[in-house]
Structure 1
Amino acid sequence: MTKTQPPSAVLHRDTRSIPKKAIGGKGSYLFLEDGTKFLDSTGGAAVSCLGHGHEKASKAILDQMNQLAYCHTAFFGTDVSEELARFLCDSTGGRMSKLYIISSGSEAVEAALKMARQYYLELPTPQPKRARFIARKPSYHGVTLGALAAGGHVFRREPYEPLLSSNTSFVSPCYAYRDKRDHESDADYVARLAAELDAEFQRVGPETVCAFIAEPVVGAALGAVPAVPGYFKAMKAVCERHGALFILDEVMSGMGRCGTLHAWEQEDVVPDLQTIGKGLGGGYVPVSGLLIGEHIVETMDKGTGVFRHGHTYQGHPMACAAALAVQKVIQEENLLENVRAMGTYLEQRLRSRLERHPYVGDIRGKGLFWGIEFVRDKATKEPFGPDQSVAFHVQETGLRPEYAISLYAAGGCVEGTRGDHVLLAPPYNVTREEIDIIVETTARVLEHVFTKVVKV
């Protein structure tokens, strides 16, 4: 008699299916229980920036575990948290002066929202009316209730709308492929978006707004969409005019993913608060952070001196050790240069192989963070309907053994409900040969999906 496996006790993302098991990993590859060698071309969710099984990261975690696995930050500090914080603050040229270390991107955004609110209460002349935020649609800043309320992701918000705070309003994203008008220059487009943000401040009352929050390169919500030059400088100027803070959510696009350690470095538009995550620890442990501008720190110091927000696992020694090791590897192995070089190569290969594909509408991104948007009609940019689940089919097809590649699917880039795209985010130490495999395999997946699966 064949012994049957008991049902899984794990609440998987889909309760009706059990994913294949990964049993190992090395470099850009994961090894599955069925013997498949799987090319992790998205680093999970743009997380595994050093790939899998990096010895220096693993050793740092083990060494820290053997020295001190945990202590509560209400009672004690650690050398490793101090070293990580100094490393990251120094990496900003001192423009961010403190680091708050937690475990997930959602936690980092929650901390940023609370810090922004408390900042105005700590001013010599408090501004308690400031309790609102302005974000963009579509956008995604996390799954916890505060972060979800600050995001404009229709699908993720929908079931929880009755639970969400109504203190966030939304303006248009900087999404040139769909929203920039014919014959409109970048400068004119930026001016139009800045005017829209300014009008939203005026509508809700400038004195009520804590901050504007945005991703430098929009990840899951739009599919690696970068802003046009000058956009963030203009947005920050609007915030400063109204005395509001400027928050950049770099959980997905930061920590080297776009070719500089901090995405904002490329235009030198320094945020007041900056969230970091995925590439911070490379997936070796759950870790994220909030980098805080010096003027906010000074205000807190002169006020209560206490951030009224805390986590049991904040500043976790093993998380700090892993993050520090990952960041040192990036620095010592000059991986940011590889991100830029391989990012350029990836763009060239994607464009030469897929730009003329009849259902590829746009290829966009920065560094090693790229998105492919699918359309029914290239001329009109008409998206596929949500019932066709194009991006989902692309992702699922990529998981099949004959392709064995990750293609991170998402939708809702058009009005929050339509539109399909996939993300590519290979590790920072990816090779030209691996990029060739990624592009060719992606092309094969698309050929299968659009000839055998999706009715077009």
Structure 2
Amino acid sequence: MSPSAVLHRQLHQAPTLALSGEGSYITLEDGRRILDATGGAAVSCLGHSNAEVRQAMIDQINQLSYCHTAYFSTKPFEELASLLIESTGEKMSKVYIVSSGSEAMEAAMKLSRQFYLEKANPEPQRTKFIARKQSYHGITIGSLSMGGHKFRRELFEPILLPNVSHVSPCNPYRNRKDGESNEEYIARLADELDAEFQRLGPETVCAFVAEPVVGAAMGCVPSVPGYFKAMKAICEKYGALFILDEVMSGMGRCGTLHAWEQEDVVPDMQTIGKGLGGGYAPIAGLLIGDKVIKTLEESTGSFRHGHTYQGHPVSCAAALAVQRVIQEENLVENVRAMGVLFEEELRKRLSDHPHVGDIRGKGLFWGIELVRDKTTKEPFDPNLQLAFKIQDKGLEAKYSISLYCGQGTADGIAGDHILLAPPYNTTREEIVRIVEVLQAVLEDVFGELKV
């Protein structure tokens, strides 16, 4: 049993202490210098110890470290909100700032419900949500209910919300039929969503919720072009809201500041998180469209929801500094450029690997799905714990790389993937290094397993 007083994710093994970070590297207590190829969980978009962000936080702490948003606002809160709305080209109207992506999804769910109650012609029967299988939207009861990740849900199924149902994700590698075109695949998924509205009673549905690029649950799976446009059309047909979860894939990670900019859609609401503050302080948010805001303005004029730490001034100062660095250094452009190189290197080195089934992603958000049989796409037995063997192997001194690995890729239980998400200011040398080391880690792990 670990002597640590912390309830770590694993009780029988405390993680190694991280002492410092600089750029794309984290230094551990035993002296290892780890190449952070994933930004933690696609969080550290500027890497570690950015001087400008650190100073912004110090300056804010020296001025005002906390005040309650029921009574006061603060300059960094207001400036961050203005910057975010401007970043959408005024397509979104207001911002709600919280401390985590789970909180942002909870806010989206509650605001959806309140929107329908406050319409000129209220629709109190709208209480249901449709999301997608093999999705992840957070770990609180509401957000976990929204998600379709079997493993994360299974212990808590009896206490999850009964008013969320799930349709198929857009995963062409796994689910597009042989010979099926993108248009035919989209039409099939649109028909499935339409049928789910009909099954539930379309007048009872608040919203459809999806990730533009599925991150933790499936390993960086983008939709096929045109998919989200078709999904939004179904929502509009039945008067439901269209909500995109960009906590992991947004704020520049996929090569545009907002992932929906590449999908030719604008959501009614959008959650953001990890790349917003880059890990310098806990922060996430909900961007809200004008339709929803106008309804509230014309009714109660308030959102009946609040957190002690919403709009926290130090977190807002950190996020504001992060976003200014991204703008000033043209880092989203670097994401696109390095993303092209990343894809080239991954395909060059890993496409022919006998157990690499799929390489997919956008920008600096890439996933590798591993399979036992490349032809049949059969996944490895989940009891093998392949993903975590790869993750642990990468941390060994010989490799010194942090890899974000996950299971359940194929069906929610079986299947393994590796997620890669280096910082937006990464270099060509780092990208090449990440792929070289990953290749060596895979060769070592599969050599030991003899599969």
CA offset digits 1:341-368 (Å, max 9, x no partner): 0011000000000000000000000000
Q: Could you tell me how far 1:414 is from its partner in structure 2?
A: 1.9
Whole-angstrom distance in 2 between the partners of 1:92 and 1:147: 25
Partner of 1:264: 260
Show the 5 A alignment for 1:96-111: 96-111=92-107
Q: 1:162 to 1:6 in 2, by over 3 A?
A: closer
Residue number among 191, 195, 202 corresponding to 2:191 in the alignment: 195
Q: Could you tell me how far 1:455 is from its partner in structure 2?
A: 4.6
2:238 matched to 1:239?
no
Show the 5 A alignment for 1:294-313: 294-313=290-309
Residue number among 334, 341, 365 corresponding to 1:345 in the alignment: 341
Q: Could you tell me how far 1:7 is from its partner in structure 2?
A: 1.5
Structure 2, unaligned stretches of length 5 or more?
A: none
Whole-angstrom distance in 1 between the partners of 2:183 and 2:347: 26
Whole-angstrom distance in 2 between the partners of 1:242 and 1:295: 16
Whole-angstrom distance in 2 between the partners of 1:411 and 1:212: 25
CA offset digits 1:124-147 (Å, max 9, x no partner): 111001000000001100000000
Residue number among 58, 64, 70 corresponding to 2:54 in the alignment: 58
Show the 5 A alignment for 1:151-162: 151-162=147-158
Residue number among 432, 453, 456 corresponding to 2:428 in the alignment: 432
Secondary structure in structure 2 of the residue aligned to 1:274 = strand
Show the 5 A alignment for 1:16-55: 16-55=12-51
Whole-angstrom distance in 2 between the partners of 1:166 and 1:405: 41
Letter in structure 2 aligned against 1:397: K
Whole-angstrom distance in 2 between the partners of 1:200 and 1:399: 44
Task: Work out the number of aligned pairs and report it.
Answer: 451
Residue number among 142, 161, 164 corresponding to 2:160 in the alignment: 164
Whole-angstrom distance in 2 between the partners of 1:164 and 1:95: 33
Q: Could you tell me how far 1:196 is from its partner in structure 2?
A: 0.5
TM-score after normalising by structure 2: 0.99
Partner of 2:126: 130
The answer on whether the counterparts of 2:2 and 2:12 sit within 8 Å (CA) in structure 1 is no
Q: Could you tell me how far 1:411 is from its partner in structure 2?
A: 1.1
Structure 1, unaligned stretches of length 5 or more?
A: none
Q: Could you tell me how far 1:267 is from its partner in structure 2?
A: 2.3
CA offset digits 1:14-46 (Å, max 9, x no partner): 010011111001000001111111000000000
2:351 matched to 1:355?
yes
The answer on whether the counterparts of 2:68 and 2:309 sit within 8 Å (CA) in structure 1 is yes
Partner of 2:4: 8
Whole-angstrom distance in 1 between the partners of 2:220 and 2:174: 14
Show the 5 A alignment for 1:180-259: 180-259=176-255
Name which of structure 1's ranges 9-18 and 43-52 shifts more when overlaid on structure 2: 9-18
Partner of 2:380: 384
Partner of 1:143: 139
Q: Could you tell me how far 1:268 is from its partner in structure 2?
A: 2.6
Partner of 1:70: 66
2:82 matched to 1:81?
no
Whole-angstrom distance in 2 between the partners of 1:141 and 1:447: 33
Percent identical pairs in the alignment equals 67
